[in-house]
Amino acid sequence: MISVYSLGALILAYLLGSIPSAVWVGKAFFKIDVREYGSGNAGATNTFRVLGKKAGIPVMLMDILKGWIATNLAYFIGLSVTGPTHSVQYVNYQLALGICAVMGHLFPVFAGFRGGKGIATLFGMIVAVHTPAALLCVMVFVCILLVSKYVSLSSIAAGFTFPLSVIFIYHVSVKAIIIYGMCICVLILVTHQKNIERLLKGKESKVNLFKKKNI
């Protein structure tokens, strides 16, 4: 039976994920709602595209951090509730918290439920659950981005790297992590459906994340 503390932590994780970093940074410092420009998403990639690195880097770090903090709420709930650190019960609860944060990013209560694609928040969650696999995802993302200049393709490749790495490289035995990794693939395919269509048609925009923007 779920305790009041556990339920409260799940709600808090969702609220953390709901913090619309891109929207707040854009409006506070540039008087722009990034959802009205570029891809229309309230995420780090669109912030880079619309406002440049001065806004994109802080937004990306904030989105990663909220996923990491939300996932690590499991530790503050208490081991009497979650079980010993790295136990199956503890990891399962970490995943539940992280998923709530990702859902908050996708459907933020603080921004009219119009959020981003959740890649940075997913990454923050992965860092908390399995840091080595997260670092491998970063390497894949960077390599694909340098070669292709497609952020969407890089994100998709990095997302698929996680389940493959935990199964075949790190030999993780916790079934919840493996199932979660597969769910990541499905989520990325769903949220990047339009990007995939544009990639197949050769119409996807290439992005230079470090190009200076004049707003």
3-state SS track over the chain: CCCHHHHHHHHHHHHHHCCCHHHHHHHHHHCCCHHHCCCCCCCHHHHHHHHCHHHHHHHHHHHHHHHHHHHCHHHHHCHHHHCCCCCHHHHHHHHHHHHHHHHHHHCCHHHCCCCCCCHHHHHHHHHHHCHHHHHHHHHHHHHHHHHHCCHHHHHHHHHHHHHHHHHHCCCCCCHHHHHHHHHHHHHHHHHCHHHHHHHHHCCCCCCCCCCCCCC
pLDDT for residue 89: 83
Q: Whole-model pTM?
A: 0.88
pLDDT for residue 81: 59
Asked if residue 181 lies in contact with residue 166, where contact means CB atoms within 8 angstroms, the answer is yes
pLDDT for residue 157: 96
pLDDT for residue 93: 87
pLDDT (tens, 9 = 90+) of the chain, 215 residues, equals 567 888 899 999 999 999 999 999 999 999 999 999 988 999 998 999 899 999 999 999 999 999 999 999 988 776 555 666 667 888 888 999 999 999 999 999 999 999 999 999 999 999 999 999 999 999 999 999 999 999 999 999 999 999 999 999 999 988 889 999 999 999 999 999 999 999 999 999 887 655 555 54
pLDDT for residue 29: 95
pLDDT for residue 206: 84
